[in-house]
Amino acid sequence: MADAIRHDKTARQLRLLSDALDSGRLGPVRRMVNTLAPAEIGNLLESLPPAQRSVVWGLVDAEDDGEVLLHVGDEVRESLIADMDTDELVAAVEDLDIDDLADLVEDLPDAVIEQVLVAMDRENRDRLEQVLSYDEDTAGRLMNPDVVTVRADTNVDVVLRYLRLRGELPDNTDHLYVVNRRHQLLGWVALQDLVTHDPGTPLNQLIDDELDSIHVDETAQEVARQFSDHDWVSAPVVDDGNVLLGRITVDDVLDIIREQAEHQALSAAGLDEDEDLFSPVPRAVRGRVVWLGINLCTAFLAASVIGQFEGTIEKIVALAVLMPIVAGIGGNAAVQVLTLMVRGLALGQVGGSNARILMWKEIRVALINGVLIGGLVGLIALAWFRDWELSLVIAAAMIINFSFAAFAGVLVPLLLKRMNVDPAVAGTVVVTAVTDVMGFLSFLGLATLFLLH
């Protein structure tokens, strides 16, 4: 951890920048900002309150503007775009790659889009339209149509001469794609093989035709899985007829994986992934109040269960003291099972075939944990209230609630997935509703049955 802090460059930069801004000397700020990569500038802008953000944004080199816009969340992006006039925006985005431009297009004012389209040549305009025709979060939307292709019936020397004529290659080009006349993908040749084989080597000796290509309709998540399973740097995207449409590179995949992880963490707390640290207060309120309202419904559901036992609580007030323990610890146990299931589902490791085995395993874990934790709670309750009957009731209620926690933890994510609801988002609310209701019901119910003499 000492290392983590020492190398926490962004935090250090932020402090330096903030000091420089406070002192009002913008020269050092400009110099500092423009030594950073665009993604780092984006990160820095996200960490500044709106007023400072606007000042720093004005100091960023115009040539980095487009790349910086790509590397910030939607809310911050909107605020940065609002600070720019049409000419600045056109200049910032017109040189971006097609896939990056497609990524930004929805946030740009119409006037800017029109001017960019007019400035493009016809080929690029067609490519942009093609990319935009695919759904967001599919391979088609992620791909860059700019690929380098060669024919099979040639040799290394000819290819090298072609590449020298062509000049610069697209970023992260590690393979050339081999296509036929109809632009169907036949295989690929690694740049590494081109530079390690004699000029006279026929190309078809170097072609790898066992490649897995990516179908244009594949989801971003599946694309990310394939990249990390196969250790790809880039991969070709094809349509139903195996025609090569473009390529996806690993830098985009890094972004996908990061965004998915963030999305899961934030949406599990009912937050919009684009909520910015410095979102305006009304916006932050709107973003969060819905989630709190949903949780309120489940809280009243649990309260209504307690309401059924008012008479019992009136007689034995210790029940009111202890009941949140039964519900709360049951919720913790359920969230543990849920978290394992959500990971298993995301990795495709849980299906109909092993769900029953998992359920049986979790029930056994729950019974043992229920006996251990329930027993401990029973002992503490005995020491506190000197009532061994109460103590038995709470231990029994905890064992029952642990079992429901295991059931809910396994079944709820499977059901949510079948209903096309993301278990990572909705799972916690549902399983804790189950453990709250069952916790109060079992504890107060058993107490009503056995403690009211």
Angle between helices 50-59 and 74-82 (to 10 degrees): 60
Q: Are 429 and 333 contacting, i.e. CB atoms less than 8 angstroms apart?
A: no
**What does the alpha-carbon distance between residue 196 and residue 393 come to, in Å, rounded to a whole number?**
76
Instruction: Using the structure block, give the residue that is written with the tokens 């965004």.
Output: 259
What is the torsion angle, in degrees rounded to the nearest 10, for the CA atoms of residue 306, residue 312, residue 317 and residue 323?
Answer: -40
- Stretch touching a copy of itself by CB under 8 A, among 40-48, 85-93, 98-106, 114-122: 40-48
- Of 91, 120, 152, 163, the one binding a copy of itself by CB under 8 A: 163
- Stretch touching a copy of itself by CB under 8 A, among 90-98, 100-108, 117-125, 253-261: 253-261
| Least distance in angstroms from the C-beta of 296 to a copy of itself | 6
Closest CB to a copy of itself among 126 and 351?
351
Size of residue set near a copy of itself by CB under 8 A? 137
Q: Are 174 and 147 contacting, i.e. CB atoms less than 8 angstroms apart?
A: no
**What does the alpha-carbon distance between residue 384 and residue 379 come to, in Å, rounded to a whole number?**
9
Instruction: Using the structure block, give the residue that is written with the tokens 């903030």.
Output: 18
- Stretch touching a copy of itself by CB under 8 A, among 84-92, 98-106, 120-128, 285-293: 285-293
Residues 302 to 321 in contact with a copy of itself, rule: CB under 8 A: 302-303, 306-307, 310, 313-314, 317-321
Closest CB to a copy of itself among 377 and 434?
377
Residues 79 to 138 in contact with a copy of itself, rule: CB under 8 A: 138
Q: What is the DSSP letter of 70?
A: H
Burial of 210 (0-12, 13-18, 19+ CB in 10 A): exposed
Closest CB to a copy of itself among 117 and 294?
294
- Of 123, 195, 241, 453, the one binding a copy of itself by CB under 8 A: 195
By CB under 8 A, tell whether 229 contacts a copy of itself. yes
Q: For residue 150, list its beta bridge partners.
A: 178
| Least distance in angstroms from the C-beta of 122 to a copy of itself | 26
Closest CB to a copy of itself among 24 and 352?
352
Q: Are 448 and 390 contacting, i.e. CB atoms less than 8 angstroms apart?
A: no
Residues 208 to 227 in contact with a copy of itself, rule: CB under 8 A: 217-219, 221-222, 225, 227
By CB under 8 A, tell whether 196 contacts a copy of itself. yes
Q: What are phi and psi of 133, to 5 degrees?
A: -75, -15
Residues 60 to 79 in contact with a copy of itself, rule: CB under 8 A: none
Q: Are 434 and 334 contacting, i.e. CB atoms less than 8 angstroms apart?
A: yes
Identify the sign of the CA torsion 224, 225, 229, 230: negative
- Of 25, 49, 62, 126, the one binding a copy of itself by CB under 8 A: 49
Closest CB to a copy of itself among 120 and 172?
172
By CB under 8 A, tell whether 192 contacts a copy of itself. yes
Q: Are 28 and 20 contacting, i.e. CB atoms less than 8 angstroms apart?
A: yes
Rg, C-alpha atoms of the chain:
29
The C-alpha angle with vertex 167 and arms to 34 and 122, in degrees rounded to 5, equals 85
By CB under 8 A, tell whether 55 contacts a copy of itself. no
The two tokens of residue 221 are 């998540």
Burial of 310 (0-12, 13-18, 19+ CB in 10 A): exposed
By CB under 8 A, tell whether 154 contacts a copy of itself. no
By CB under 8 A, tell whether 141 contacts a copy of itself. no
By CB under 8 A, tell whether 372 contacts a copy of itself. yes
| Least distance in angstroms from the C-beta of 163 to a copy of itself | 5
By CB under 8 A, tell whether 358 contacts a copy of itself. yes
| Number of DSSP helices (H) and strands (E) in the chain, helices first | 22, 6
By CB under 8 A, tell whether 452 contacts a copy of itself. no
Closest CB to a copy of itself among 89 and 319?
319
Q: Provide the greatest CA pair distance for the chain.
A: 98
Q: What are phi and psi of 236, to 5 degrees?
A: -80, 145
- Of 55, 119, 368, 379, the one binding a copy of itself by CB under 8 A: 368
By CB under 8 A, tell whether 258 contacts a copy of itself. yes
By CB under 8 A, tell whether 275 contacts a copy of itself. yes
By CB under 8 A, tell whether 261 contacts a copy of itself. yes
- Of 20, 29, 33, 47, the one binding a copy of itself by CB under 8 A: 47
Residues 382 to 411 in contact with a copy of itself, rule: CB under 8 A: 384
The two tokens of residue 118 are 């007019």
Residues 418 to 437 in contact with a copy of itself, rule: CB under 8 A: 420, 436
